[in-house]
Copies of this chain bind each other. A is one copy, B any other.
Amino acid sequence: MFNRRTDLALEMRELLLEAGEALTEIDGVRAEEELLEKDIKVTTVEILDKNGEEALNKGKGSYITIELPNDWWMEQNVYEAACKACAKELKKLVGGNSLENVLVVGLGNRNITPDAVGPVALDYVLVTRHLIRYMPEEIDERLKSVCGIAPGVLGITGLETGEIIKGLSEKIKPSLIIAIDALCSRSVKRVNKTIQLSDTGITPGAGVGNRRMSLDEREMGVPVIGIGVPTVIDAATIAADAIDLLIKNMRENAGGNQGFLEMLKGAEEEDRFLLLKEVLGENVGDFIVTPKDIDEQAEEMSRIIANGINIALHQGISLSDIDRCK
């Protein structure tokens, strides 16, 4: 099967369910859904064991997906509800881990809009560590120590993000790392509408850029929570989806004609990649699909993530205070 790229555990599970396991659940995977106010849907996928890991091609851990309603960016109170939902789910993932000293990492390339979610979100995160260190008496006690860095991407710095963060982490010894990144989705309906939070960190190769070293607890030595927003779809995925849908439609119209059904099966098994290469050219992997107005949407998603973090970390601070400070 052609590998539609997705970084969302939710979509991996959907793909599997579509692929014929609709009635029985996947073994080693537990999922549950919840509907919050303003039509915000939260799905928690837990990968419990090796079987679940293999089935979803993702590591053991919790993956929480927050889906916002269509046109979410038009209404102030949906925006506020989204910030609160993000804070609530983040706190669930943090669990008993300490929030005393948090390092927020904005992954991705600020100069490429669909890859800039991490750095832009970091712009909206309330950074307090220097204030708490150098002028503690002037700081509201409810503020936790937060610092942040946008390390850039390998192609521009020549440095593995992991090297930079690991080196920094050993110096400042955070109690928790939160890493924000752009993700890749397989469906246009999730782009800029979905936030995934996970206690497994950020896996490499995510988003638009290419990264290699995991930002996770094993590598970093402290808990790492990954937060991501799908901002792009591979162009190849769109093309492959169109082909699949056509074959499905044709199969329904085949009326039991065995010869034709077999031909469709042949078409299905054909090297999909070769076909896509003919459509998208040699550099089939270099093209991405984005909404036209990605700039505004991605900026707002970045703000929601940042404010989710701000609210979760700094108890008793209101959203309007935060929006004013930044």
| A residues in contact (CB < 8 Å) with B | 74-76, 79, 111-113, 127-131, 145-152, 154-159, 163-164, 166-172, 188-189, 208, 235, 238-243, 245-247, 249-250, 253-254, 257, 259-260, 263, 266-267, 270, 275-276, 278-281, 283, 286-293, 295, 320-321, 323-325
A5 CB, nearest partner CB in chain B, Å = 13
Instruction: Using A113-B113, A263-B253, A281-B189 as known contacts, say yes or no to A149 and B164 having CB atoms under 8 A apart.
Output: yes
Residues of B within 8 A of A172 (CB): 159, 163, 167
Contact of A287 among B260, B286, B290 (CB under 8 A): B290
Partner of A249, one of B149, B158, B275: B275
From the candidates B241, B289, B324, name the one contacting A75 in the complex (CB within 8 A): B324
Copies in the complex: 4
- Nearest-Cβ distance from residue A273 to partner chain B, whole angstroms: 12
Name the residue on B nearest A131 (C-beta): B158
A171: B residues at CB distance < 8 A: 163-164, 166-167
Q: Is there contact, CB below 8 Å, between B260 and A263? A: yes
* Interface contact A250-B279, CB-CB below 8 Å: no
Identify A76's interface contact among B128, B253, B260, B321, CB under 8 A.
B321
Given known A-B contacts A76-B324, A267-B249, A280 and B168 have beta carbons under 8 A apart: no
A176 to chain B, nearest CB (A): 14
Contacts beyond the supplied A170-B170, A188-B281: 7 A-B pairs with Cβ under 8 Å: A159-B172, A163-B172, A239-B242, A246-B275, A253-B266, A257-B263, A288-B289
Interface of A is mostly: helix
* Residue on B nearest A114 in the bound complex, by CB: B292
Q: Is the CB of A188 within 8 A of B287?
A: yes
* Complex contact B168–A159 (CB within 8 A): yes
Separation of A145 and B157 alpha carbons in the complex (Å):
11
Report whether A242 and B276 are in contact in the complex, using a CB–CB cutoff of 8 Å: yes
Given A127-B157, A263-B250, answer yes or no on A292-B281 (Cβ-Cβ < 8 Å). Answer: no
Q: Do A129 and B267 touch (CB < 8 A)? A: no
Q: Are A235 and B289 in contact (CB under 8 A)?
A: yes
Q: Nearest Cβ in chain B — how far from A183, in angstroms?
A: 15
B321 touches A159 (CB 8 A): no
What are 20 inter-chain pairs, A to B, with CB distance below 8 A? A76-B324, A112-B292, A127-B158, A128-B158, A147-B157, A148-B159, A163-B168, A167-B167, A167-B168, A208-B292, A238-B279, A242-B279, A246-B275, A249-B275, A253-B266, A257-B259, A257-B263, A283-B291, A287-B292, A288-B290
> Can you list the 3 inter-chain pairs with the closest CB atoms, starting with the nearest?
A129-B158, A147-B158, A167-B167
A294 to chain B, nearest CB (A): 8
Contacts of A170 in B (CB 8 A): 167, 170
**Residues of chain B with a CB closer than 8 A to A146's CB:** 158
Contact between A130 and B154, CB atoms less than 8 A apart = yes
Q: Are B239 and A241 in contact (CB under 8 A)?
A: yes
Kindly state the separation between the CA atoms of A325 and B287 in the bound complex, as whole angstroms: 22
Q: Kindly state the separation between the CA atoms of A147 and B151 in the bound complex, as whole angstroms.
A: 12
Residues of B contacting A280 with CB < 8 Å?
188, 238
